[in-house]
Amino acid sequence: EEVESLFKVIEGNPFTVGRDRALLETLYGGGLRVSEAMALDMEDLHFDSAYLRIRGKGNRERISPVGNAAIQAIEAYAPLRLDCLTRLGKESESLFLNKNGTRLDVRSVRRILIKLAGKAGMSKRVTPHMLRHSFATHLLDRGADLRSVQELLGHANLTTTQIYTHVTTHRLKDVY
């Protein structure tokens, strides 16, 4: 519900709306670290097979599927991105751009989320990592196995992924 509330309050000019929607869908729908999303270039997108090539921690590369909502949001944002670059007379391979046509940075993403959380009436501080955490928790809540979630998150060790099982076990107790 909280993730959905963030999407509902995205507003602004068409470029900003398109970018922010694509950004949130990619962070949440792919379980990406914010640094991984900011490093995405256009060549890393594979729409036909719905996956992204991601450069993660330690410069390790992985191929990760993303949901249809993320693919659709990126496809809707792509022409807006191109219009921005054309208008500014710039070229960039970066997927996520700021209004100046340069790569969006991690700090800017944090500011975007804080602004959206405020508009959504959320009292807690929202971070990009919370979207990644929600991605993993929602997968486990819906029956995904821990090893698959480990691969999707790009964790080198299964123990890193196991932190999410505590949340799921707690949820299981609540449901029971």
Catalytic annotation, residues: 33, 57, 129, 132, 155, 164
Judge contact between 46 and 94, C-beta under 8 A: no
- Sign of the CA dihedral with 140 first, then 8, 51, and 105 last: negative
* Number of neighbouring beta carbons within 10 Å of residue 107: 10
Strand partners, 64: 52
4 contacts: CB under 8 Å, gap ≥ 6: none
- Tokens for 173? 């107790």
How many degrees, rounded to 5, is the angle at CA 63 between CA 16 and CA 128? Answer: 40
